[in-house]
Chain A
């Protein structure tokens, strides 16, 4: 039930784009995206609740393909501040307890 994230790590130059994928073997109710800096708690980026939904947060956006049970996070024109580990969390459809399953994370490093 733990979603699978890919890639495990990404190294970018400032201004480059990246895509992080998250896929589940279960039908999903929602997908959550978090970013975590070293030694800090995860910071909420966005939640996607409907199939096909796309949400944006500055130059970071995400899509949710309910049919394929997957979500993608898009980082456009990356900045140094985007460095960190990105996690997706999934809530299974039919879950009655609100429990999220988190992926193992994607480590993003942005160089000047």
Chain B
């Protein structure tokens, strides 16, 4: 079975400071990993994904994430937070080795960027 954990329900960061939103995963095979962002009353927007290759993945709006196989983590980062980054962030995993088509989401982390 595949699962995702986002250990923090909420992250607060001052505008201009670096931000990190944590994600760890569990799969029996090789993971495909995704980050999505959700603004209030809106659908999920794709930010970035890791499939294979370079462990550091760059995505939309200046976000990046680092795949760490030994720690089974895929933390989302941004060097300088903006107030407009305030939203709900979801990490998701698919176990491609197991042939799984299902995308399993974490519970989400609410990011608040304080002016």
Partners in one complex: no
Give chain B's interface residues, CB within 8 Å of chain A: none
Give chain A's interface residues, CB within 8 Å of chain B: none
